[in-house]
Structure 1
């Protein structure tokens, strides 16, 4: 069983996931294809997009590289 996380952290994860989904869809990629390009499992991409998983910094860089963007672009504007 997973320990519960503070509501603020859950919201930040949700916002990050929504931003990732938005960018992935703009690039016309499936979760599976993005996972392949980033060297990650499709389930990992799905969990990140749904706010269920907090990606490691290395994963964020891998995803950004796969999308051809900076890691900073994965974070929603005004996220703080």
Structure 2
């Protein structure tokens, strides 16, 4: 599982790529088969809407889909030195 910092770093990377690609959260969600709320939570590094909720821990399939949407490898999205999220 990721730490809160790792989850936030992953979310910041996704947000950076999404905004550089001129995509809304809704558009990215449609591309990767998620809900807009799920993208919003991933970008915030959280697993729930609570500000102090647990860190996000996306499935590998989600990481692969997001990476593919940006033409990257999953490794390009992961925070440096982080553990791989749960499958």
Asked if TM exceeds 0.5, the reply is: yes
- Hey, what's the Cα distance between the residues in 2 that align with 1:24 and 1:75? 15
Unmatched 5+ residue regions in structure 2? 47-55, 82-87
RCO greater where, 1 or 2, for CA within 8 Å and sep 6 or more? 2
Structure 1 or 2: more helix by fraction:
1
TM-score scaled to structure 2, two decimals?
A: 0.75
Hey, what does 1:43 align to over in structure 2? 37
The count of aligned residue pairs is 72
CA RMSD of superposed structures (Å): 1.7
TM-score (norm 1): 0.81
Runs of 4+ in 1 over 3 A off after TM superposition: none
Structure 1 residues not aligned, in runs of 5+: none
